[in-house]
Structure 1
Amino acid sequence: MSQAIRYFASTAKGMELILADELQTIGASEVQHAAGGAYFEGDMEMAYRVCLWSRLANRVLMPIAYYSAQTPEKLHAGALKIDWTKHFDLSKTFAIDASIRRSKINHSRYAEQVVKDAIVDQFKEKFDDRPNVEREQPDVRINAYINEDKVTLSLDLSGDSLHRRHYRAESVEAPLKENLAAAILIRAGWPKIAAEGGALYDPMCGSGTLLTEAAMMAGDVAPGLLRDYYGFFGWAQFNSPIWERLIKEAEYRREKGIAKIPPIMGSDISIKHAGIAKANIKSANLSGLIKAVSLPLSKVAPEEDWKPGLFVVNSPYGERLGEIKELEPLYQEIGSVLKARFNGWQASVFTGNTPLAFQVSLKSHKSYQLFNGALPCKVYNFSVTAERHFEGESASAQQYIGDSLKKALLPTSGEWSEGATMFANRLRKNIKKLKSWVKKNDVSCYRLYDADLPEYALAIDIYLGEKKWVHVQEYEAPKTIDEKKSIQRLRDALAVMPEVLGVPHRQLSLKIRRRQKGSTQYEKQGTDGGFHTVQEGGASFLVNFKDYLDTGLFLDHRPIRQWIHDNANGKQFLNLFAYTGSVTVHAALGGATTSTTVDMSKTYLDWAKNNFELNKLNLDKHQLVRANCMEWLDTAIQEQRKYELIFIDPPTFSNSKRMDNVFDIQRDHVELINKAAQLLTKKGTIIFSTNFRKFKLDEAALEKLNVQNISKQTLPKDFERNPKIHYCWNLSINN
């Protein structure tokens, strides 16, 4: 019997448990889930089998060496001790991938270089020659994992990420990776539904990923059957007869299994997307087994002879928090279609915006967290039956919170509680502290309080215009905090604000998040509705306290806007991910000759236009563009546009209905900045800002630019208690 080897199968965050279950189903032994994947044991055939059959894994790693290395020299020495000729020869290409965690060797590219040098040195010593490096499809790929001072060197048997099934006929990137689509289907209960003959419908099928993965699951089709490249093909110890036997077995299972595929259908309002889905289905050799058509959501319905099954949808999440309002009707329509035409079905909604899921107006009986890239998302599972409609307990809970907040906004009588008195004293202290700064700097909109007292987890902003408004946001309390206590503290805080801050109740707005209470996940109370005008540094802006999660003016960016005002004179200005255009207004008032303001949201561009008109800007010179910023940059580069000053403030994540894929600021910032730099004049400047607290700028990948961290200089006094409110850099071309 072949000796058992301990492998590691990597996967995306949130998929570790179901990967472990899958590995056991495939036949692996000693399976143990871990962060980022699962360990398993088996012989070489088992490793091949996992590569061929895993729908959830990214890579399968076979460790070949463990050692300690506190320095690059020791990393090199440990790699040099391995006899690499047992794994590949001079005719083969190789590549190194490194990942590092809490190590003194703190740069992955440098670690890759060190291990590569050790391998090259060994071959040169033995043969006076060296193998070549190939990054894309090397014959052998080696993984170096460094955790503190512990090094694990492994052979990457997958070679390329296993989510790439090779059935994509089109080059358009899909919103979902294939293994994420598989995870959604597993969490939705599709394998059991399919086995019982239930149908599947995806009303926003895009490029058909969910449809194709669903058919492959139901038809017992190995997800790796179409791949023509694995990391073990070029390995010196590759056992070709075993692999050929596994392929024949998979082909036999496919031939038998596809006859069992139940009805699977998808639709998309985009004719182009439906066409791409058809092409991908054909490429997966599943034509005739999956139907894809162009159809609006309002026309979606199952066939009469279908057995009730699974309605599954990856719906748009919104670009920024404010777009939740814009997407609510879409989710409401999903709920309406389900209730009207899919009674008795199971439904699963995959979304990155929890409040939107409640617009479906069905009680979810189960939810699971998954990650689309780094974006946290959830799969919400529903049973489409009359008793699961929002009513009874959920409505009562919503009414309870709404009534509590309304009571808190009523004029108080009697003594304040001890907690309310403490909170009032803190507000007075903050007013005194900021008073001279506000007056000296002519600041009219500022943050007065930001969870200074942990029990009162609120952010309180003051807006001065034709009236004084107080905008209050409650941070969601930890699950360990009793919700009734949290509500009582909120009521205490609201009770003292009118007197301490000198505003009537109608000029106080509240936005509050509550856990798992339908639409009360986000409650808005109080305030005169609509738009109001405020001033900042000679500019006027429209703000809204009622209709959106954001007011329209990011207060922490005040110093950035002022800097751009002071440095825009005579320059061509570009504002990417422009939100309501406030930065452009400052640039124009500061003397920018022309400007281009780009955002994907119609809501925000309309808002920006109103801000422009409020400040009497010439719209011929100051252009508004609705576009995906990454795509717009490609066009602008082709058109050889040039700007002397560029401001970039992207969202942390974006999965708008106008995008084909997810924008991730950590993953995509280098591409974004480098594209923007191609539009920069020789002496131009980029100001790049992000509010992603865990963000790390990859300066090594921006080596052609001068990079200066100006986060501290752009932090205003009213946000000093929260230094991670944003990070900001000044970038220019390295001449």
Structure 2
Amino acid sequence: MSDQFELFLTCPKGLEGLLIEEAVGLGLEEAREHTSAVRGMATMETAYRLCLWSRLANRVLLVLKRFPMKDAEDLYHGVLDIEWQDHMLSDGTLAVEFSGHGSGIDNTHFGALKVKDAIVDKLRTPQGDRPSIDKLNPDLRIHLRLDRGEAILSLDLSGHSLHQRGYRLQQGAAPLKENLAAAILIRSGWPRIAAEGGALADPMCGVGTFLVEAGMIAADMAPNLRREQWGFTAWLGHVPALWKKLHEEAVERAAAGLAKPPLWIRGYEADPRLIQPGRNNVERAGLSEWIKIYQGEVATFEPRPDQNQKGLVICNPPYGERLGDEASLLYLYQNLGERLRQACLNWEAAVFTGAPDLGKRMGIRSHKQYSFWNGALPCKLLLIKVLPDQFVTGERRTPEQRQAEREQAAYDQTPDEPQERKFNKNGNPIKPTPAPAPVIEQPRLSEGGQMFANRLQKNLKAMSKWVKREGIDCYRVYDADMPEYAMAIDLYHDWVHVQEYAAPKSIDPEKASARMFDALAAIPQALNVDKSRVVVKRRERQSGTKQYERQSAQGKFNEVSEGGVKLLVNLTDYLDTGLFLDHRPMRLRIQKEAAGKRFLNLYCYTATASVHAAKGGARSTTSVDLSKTYLDWARRNLSLNGFSDKNRLEQGDVMAWLESCRDEYDLIFIDPPTFSNSKRMEGIFDVQRDQVQLIDLAMARLAPGGVLYFSNNFRKFQLEENLTERYAVEEISAQTIDPDFARNTKIHRAWKITAR
């Protein structure tokens, strides 16, 4: 075999430029970039060194042969022509990977099968010995790449992908691969910062991948030093003495690096479930003296090395995939920006994000951006110098203030020079009076965000007297007042509940998303609430009971008040909260009319109307709903107000329940769904089609002189005329719309029905 070999180093997409620099530094010659790969020439010593030291490659492939191929037969004979007895034993194990297509091979499984057949046929002995397939831990892993009619047959020296360092046995939901994390650190300037003795902090460290990769770079540890199984371990061309020499050199370098005073490397993670797995990963990497992980929220993040020491803040914020993530991610980025400006002045920062638009919401400019891929997801690395000149805040600073800030920053970065220091009469040094630190304000809103904030504040002011006079705790403050900001915003005491309406297909999704972020940025400032108390959901067109389906499982209830009663709302787990705000006037009407009456609440949901009836002195209340979940909620609402003895909760299909009921009621409230096809009921309920049967059944249970209130929110609903012929029917919709829903008079319709 020759002294020089052709190598292919594969890597994640976007890392080619960094990998070629690294590979050349490790000895690769005649290096050239390819898509997700680097190609070059190397000695066996360099090939081993690349396996051991490459922080960026996935695999090191040693090319055995290149040959042209027109079809599957060319492939078979080209592979058969290799002297395979020089590479593996006839009874060894084998795995074959095939990539590319063409030359009559469009199926990679078929291509891999032809390669395997050729190797097995070449090594088969007269006694019948032949290699077997082992996809997990083979003696030899062969790779064939088909590229424009040329077959490139290679031996995989790495075995398992080189990103699998071996320390990360426990990981979070969506971790970065180790070589991508290393690439981000390198692009962020960490090798330079570490060489200068700088610190590193990750405020969202997960299980510590950035921390460990940073520690290995700083301590001069080969990333794959602890790996025991390699693709060349059982290869007959392996040179154990050469490998042993390189490995021992790497062990000595690591020992020397770890013997140095450890750098300050810290991680903070909000999820307590990830703390111990992260610490375990650090321990397996041998870096427990260098790296510490603590539990902490981004909003309180503050690196605390020696006051004069600076360094790098690096993080990979989570990607939004669940209902309401728009708000939580926006506020996460805003909190990160605030902490950088307030606690990390003169540091450098690197934010790796799958949502670059959110990076603009941090209130601080990036001076460089690099494109990467995290799997199939395009991402950006934002590099930031945390200096006042880079801040984007609401304040307007004069040129003199900016100059003072620059001088203060320079002072903070420059060590004291003895010949320039001044002393008082007691001989104590006098420090220069520092310029005032810049005032950290909320990030300046965009033009659209400021316009939206102005509208919210205008609405809030217009309703303030009514809210105070009526003692209202929960109300709607905005309902798509401006069509381009299509959402409803409700206040629940000191919480904000936002429902984003799905944008029409005619609206550019990017513009709709930008407007949503503008609005979310404006809400906390305009309504004077903490960002953590804003909950966002997206309301699509609903059918059936979809609006009642569970969206989350936090199980957190908040207590609010209305008309002298206490009610529980859940702002996170369902599309609706357990309290329909537009029915407030109806509930208060029921409370006023309920004294001494038997009250029936059909399709009761969380029985808020029943609580009001009980508060108003009802002789009894009966609440019927098909959902056990909502009846449990109803029970809690009643108990919260001290009501239980005379308040029945009935689980069942309302229509079937009414048909079997023989009791009489003085006051009945019906607010049915538009459509329901629950598995727990027979047939399908359609409010437009079934209204007559429903109202007739309910009126049969109404006592003489009693009142039935009927409402629904189906915008196309039309009350059947024959009902007005049999009953006294009065539409009272206008009387059941409070000022907070005055702009949306079609939010519901309501009727008062009595016997003639």
Q: Where do 1:360-379 residues align within 5 Å? A: 360-379=362-381
Shift of 1:277: 1.4
- Within a 5 Å distance, the mapping from 1:554-569 to structure 2 comes to none
Structure 2 CA distance, aligned partners of 1:548 and 1:280?
35
SS in 2 for 1:302: coil
1:606 corresponding residue in structure 2: 574
CA 1:72–1:244 in 2, change beyond 3 Å: closer, same or farther?
A: same
The 1:584–1:349 alpha-carbon spacing in structure 2 relative to 1, beyond 3 Å, is: farther
Q: Deviations over 1:653-705 (max 9, x none)?
A: xxxxxxxxxxxxxxxxxxxxxxxxxxxxxxxxxxxxxxxxxxxxxxxxxxxxx
**For 1:518-597, what aligned pairs fall within 5 Å after superposition?**
552-553=540-541, 582=542, 585=545
Taking only aligned residues, the RMSD between alpha carbons, in angstroms, comes to 4.1
Aligned partner of 2:392 in structure 1 is: 390
What's 1:162 paired with? 162
Residue 338 of structure 1 is matched in structure 2 by 340
Measure how far apart 1:280 and its partner are: 1.0
Helix, strand or coil for the counterpart of 1:607? coil
Query: 1:33 deviation in Å?
Result: 1.6
User: Which one-letter code corresponds to 2:286 in the other structure?
Assistant: N
The aligned counterpart of 1:106 is: 106
Partner of 1:277: 278
Equivalent residue runs for 1:207-606 within 5 Å: 207-258=207-258, 259=260, 261-305=262-306, 307-319=309-321, 323-390=325-392, 398-399=446-447, 472-474=506-508, 511=512, 552-553=540-541, 582=542, 585=545, 605-606=573-574
Q: Which residue is 1:43 aligned to?
A: 43
CA distance in 2, matches of 1:338, 1:156: 44
Question: Tell me, what secondary structure is at the counterpart of 1:201?
Answer: strand
Compared CA separation, residues 162 and 512, structure 1 to 2 (3 A): closer
Describe the shift of the 1:23–1:600 C-alpha distance in structure 2 as closer, same or farther (beyond 3 A): farther
Runs of 5+ unmatched residues, structure 1 = 407-457, 461-466, 477-509, 526-546, 554-581, 589-594, 625-735
Shift of 1:236: 0.6
**More moved, 86-95 vs 214-223:** 86-95
Deviation by residue 1:564-583 (Cα, 9 ceiling, x = unmatched): xxxxxxxxxxxxxxxxxx57
Determine the C-alpha separation between the residues in 2 that align with 1:291 and 1:228. Answer: 27
The amino acid that maps onto 1:473 is I
Q: Secondary structure at the match of 1:118?
A: helix
Q: Are the structure 2 counterparts of residues 521 and 585 from structure 1 closer, same or farther at C-alpha, using a change threshold of 3 Å?
A: closer
| Partner in structure 2 of residue 445 of structure 1 | none
Q: CA separation of 1:88/1:287 partners in 2, compared to 1, >3 Å: closer, same or farther?
A: same
Query: What is the alpha-carbon distance in structure 2 between the residues aligned to residue 374 and residue 600 of structure 1?
Result: 29
1:618 is displaced (CA, Å) by: 3.9
Read off the aligned partner of 2:352 and give its amino acid letter. F
In structure 2, distance between residues paired with 1:103 and 1:229: 35
Task: Report how far residue 167 of structure 1 moved.
Answer: 1.3
- C-alpha change, 1:370 and 1:524, in structure 2 (3 Å) is same
Which residue of the partner structure matches residue 495 of structure 2?
Answer: none
Structure 2 counterpart of 1:240, one-letter code: P
Does the C-alpha gap of structure 1 residues 584 and 58 become closer, same or farther in structure 2, counting only changes over 3 Å?
farther
Whether contact under 8 Å (1:194, 1:261) holds in the other structure is no
C-alpha change, 1:299 and 1:610, in structure 2 (3 Å) is closer
Residues of 1 paired with 2:386 and 2:346: CA distance? 5
Bigger mean CA offset, 251-260 vs 313-322? 313-322
Distance 1:612 1:129 in 2: 76
- CA distance in structure 1 between the aligned counterparts of 2:373 and 2:160, rounded to whole angstroms: 20
CA contact (8 A) 2:8 2:37 kept: yes
Q: CA shift at 1:16, angstroms?
A: 0.8
Q: Using the aligned pairs only, state the percent identity.
A: 35
Rounded to whole Å, the distance in 2 between the matches of 1:198 and 1:347 is 13
The aligned amino acid for 1:552 is E
Mean Cα deviation higher: 207-216 or 125-134: 125-134
Counterparts of 2:236 and 2:131, CA distance in 1:
14
Q: Which has the larger radius of gyration?
A: 2
* Partner Cα separation in structure 2 for residue 341 and residue 523 of structure 1: 22
Cα displacement (A) at 1:169:
4.4
One-letter identity of the residue aligned with 2:508: E
Instruction: For 1:5, give the aligned amino acid.
Output: F
Q: Do 2:551 and 2:574's aligned partners in 1 also have CA atoms closer than 8 Å? A: no
Give the distance between the partners of 2:506 and 2:366, measured in 1 at CA: 30
Q: What TM-score do the two structures reach when normalised by structure 2? A: 0.56
What is residue 453 of structure 1 aligned with on the other side?
none
Residue 263 of structure 1 deviates from its aligned partner by 0.9
Aligned residue for 1:606, secondary structure, equals coil
Q: Give a deviation string over 1:51-97, Cα, whole Å, max 9, x none.
A: 00000000011111222334333322222222211111124211001
Uncovered stretches (5+) of structure 2, i.e. residues with no partner? 398-442, 455-483, 487-500, 524-534, 556-570, 583-602, 606-624, 633-756
Partner Cα distance (1:324, 1:218) in 2:
36
- Please give the TM-score of this superposition, normalised by the length of structure 1: 0.58
Name the SS of the counterpart of 2:100 in structure 1.
strand
| 1:483-541 alpha-carbon deviations (Å, 9 max, x no partner) | xxxxxxxxxxxxxxxxxxxxxxxxxxx62759xxx97799999xxxxxxxxxxxxxxxx
Match of 2:17 in 1: 17
SS of the residue 1:94 aligns to: strand
Q: CA deviation at 1:397?
A: 11
Report the CA distance shift for 1:523/1:145 in structure 2 as closer, same or farther (over 3 A).
Answer: farther
Aligned residues of 1:358 and 1:519 also touching (Cα < 8 A): no
Change (3 A) 1:103 1:264: farther
TM superposition shift of 1:612: 13
Q: Which residue identity is paired with 1:185?
A: L
Match of 1:635 in 2: none
* Structure 2: distance between partners of 1:137 and 1:250: 25
Query: What is the rounded CA distance, in whole Å, between the counterparts of 1:64 and 1:24 in structure 2?
Result: 21
Deviation for aligned residue 1:342: 0.8
- Relative distance call for 1:174 and 1:285 in structure 2 (3 A) is farther
SS in 2 for 1:216: helix
Q: CA 1:92–1:341 in structure 2 vs 1: closer, same or farther (change >3 Å)? A: same
- The answer for the alignment partner of 1:52 in structure 2 is 52
Q: Secondary structure at the match of 1:344?
A: coil
- Cα deviation per residue 1:146-174 (whole Å; 9 max; x = unaligned)? 23432211101101100011112437676
Aligned equivalents of 1:398 and 1:47: distance in 2?
53
Shift of 1:551: 5.7
1:275-301 Cα shifts (integer Å, max 9, x gaps): 111111111111111111122223322
Q: Secondary structure at the match of 2:124?
A: helix
Q: State the alpha-carbon separation in 2 of the partners of residues 12 and 583 from structure 1.
A: 43
Change (3 A) 1:114 1:522: farther
SS at match of 2:351: strand
Query: How far is the alpha carbon of 1:365 from its aligned partner?
Result: 0.6
Report the 3-state secondary structure (helix = DSSP H, G, I; strand = E; otherwise coil) of the residue aligned with 2:367. strand
Q: CA deviation at 1:43?
A: 0.5
**Where in structure 2 are the equivalents of 1:62-141 lying within 5 Å?**
62-101=62-101, 104-124=104-124, 128-141=128-141
**Equivalent position SS for 2:389:** helix
The Cα of 1:261 is off from its aligned counterpart by 4.2
Displacement, 1:218? 0.8
Distance 1:239 1:471, change over 3 A: closer
Aligned positions of 1:597-636 closer than 5 A: 605-607=573-575, 618-620=626-628
Q: Tell me if structure 2 keeps the 8 A contact 1:355–1:521.
A: no
* 3-state SS of 2:575 partner: helix
Question: Could you tell me how far 1:360 is from its partner in structure 2?
Answer: 1.5
Tell me the CA shift for residue 221 of structure 1.
0.5
- The Cα shift of 1:325 comes to 2.2
- CA distance 1:322–1:93, change in 2 (3 Å): same
